[in-house]
Amino acid sequence: MDVPTWVWLLTLGVAAAVLIFDVVLIARRPHVPSNKEVGTTLAVYVSAAILFGLGIWWAEGSTRAGEFYAGWLTEYSLSIDNLFIFLIIMASFQVPAKYQQIALMWGIIIAIVLRTIFIFVGAAAINRFSWVFYIFGAFLIYTAIKLAVQKDDDDEEFEENRFLKYMEKTIPSTKEWSAKIFTKENGKRVATPIFFVVLALGMTDLLFALDSIPAIYGLTKEPYIVLTANLFALMGLRQLYFLIGGLLKKLVYLSIGLAVLLAFIGVKLILHALHENELPFINGGEHIPVPEIPISVSLGAIVVILGITTIASLWKTRKDERQGVES
């Protein structure tokens, strides 16, 4: 894709404007959003993503549009997994309900900044070193195995790492909750509890970016599609947190579904790496004629994997609820 500079700037400008509007709106009136409020906003974001994909179809063709939709769905599903950790962090810090939106908004901003950096670093590495796909593929397969074998209670508690504990001891702070990250107390500027919550969310975002960026580069090599798919996935994350917070516990097979999804993309990356092979110790540095998975198959596989994961999870939770009632 030959994306003009003004399109990049316009895209980032619109995203920044939406984020600034959200931050100002939430800071002025901290509250627990209603289902109608988050449902309407989420519908707007999802509709915008669908329309954006159709715009790519019109401008660049069905293949690029398929790459966007596949990337968007993958990033969205990985973002849902993020919400489990976000819920645990909020509970661990005992964040009042009306301030959770503010913490989430700052966490999302950090995620966008980090992923934007990772996207351009990843694009530069891919353009210069084709063997990077071996690393991306192996890392995704490793992550998939780790997801598949983790126990159900592995994510039930959030344990602060050394850096976070060091920051809490070092930075002057107050125990009083506020919509602001910093405030003044006895004439001195101090951090509010929101600051440390945002710091914990940001560090979590960094870890998840290590999974999500290689995953989407397994579906498209276009940095602009990678960026926009991530933006649309993250934009609705705050609304998704409040809308399906109670339903997340019902997605009991989400980790298994994501493991299958990441393993599929990892294999796709390895196949692409073999096809583009330039490493001298593999086939003498020559390309290996292996089959590559087209984007249409990738998109179909993603939809099927996520669909089966959701249906199986809801069936399992209903079955468990019925057995609990009967017993």
Tens place of pLDDT per residue across the chain (327 aa): 788 899 999 998 998 888 777 767 666 666 677 778 778 888 888 999 999 999 999 999 999 999 999 999 988 888 777 777 787 788 788 888 888 888 888 888 888 888 888 888 888 887 777 788 888 889 889 888 988 887 655 555 556 677 788 888 888 888 888 878 888 887 888 988 888 888 888 887 777 777 788 888 888 889 999 999 988 988 877 777 777 655 666 777 888 888 899 899 989 889 888 887 778 878 787 888 888 888 888 889 989 998 898 899 888 888 877 776 554
Query: How much is the CA Rg of the chain, to the nearest whole Å?
Result: 21
Which tokens in the block code for residue 111?
């995620």
Please answer whether residues 70 and 219 qualify as being in contact, where contact means their C-beta atoms are separated by less than 8 angstroms.
yes
Q: What angle do CA 169, 173, 174 make, to 5 degrees?
A: 130
The Cα 76–Cα 73 span in angstroms is 5
Helical segments of 94-131, H only: 100-128
The Cα 156–Cα 158 span in angstroms is 7
Helical segments of 97-253, H only: 100-128, 132-149, 162-170, 193-217, 223-235, 237-243
The Cα 215–Cα 71 span in angstroms is 8
What is residue 305's three-state secondary structure?
A: helix
The pTM of the whole model exceeds 0.85: no
The Cα 327–Cα 325 span in angstroms is 6
The Cα 19–Cα 69 span in angstroms is 22
Residue 310, pLDDT score: 86
Question: What count of other Cβ atoms lies within 10 Å of the Cβ of residue 56?
Answer: 23
Residue 245, pLDDT score: 58
Residue 327, pLDDT score: 46
Which tokens in the block code for residue 206?
């960094």
Strand partners, 173: 191
Torsion angle, CA of 166/169/170/171, rounded to 10 degrees?
110
Instruction: Name the DSSP class of 171.
Output: S
Residue 50, pLDDT score: 94
256-294 burial: b if 16+ Cβ within 10 Å, else e: bbbbbbbbbbbbbbbbbbbeebeeeeeeeeeeeeeeebe
> Cβ neighbours of residue 167 under 8 Å, at least 6 residues apart?
196, 199
185 membership: H or E segment, kind and range: strand 182-185
Please answer whether residues 288 and 275 qualify as being in contact, where contact means their C-beta atoms are separated by less than 8 angstroms.
yes
Which tokens in the block code for residue 127?
């353009």
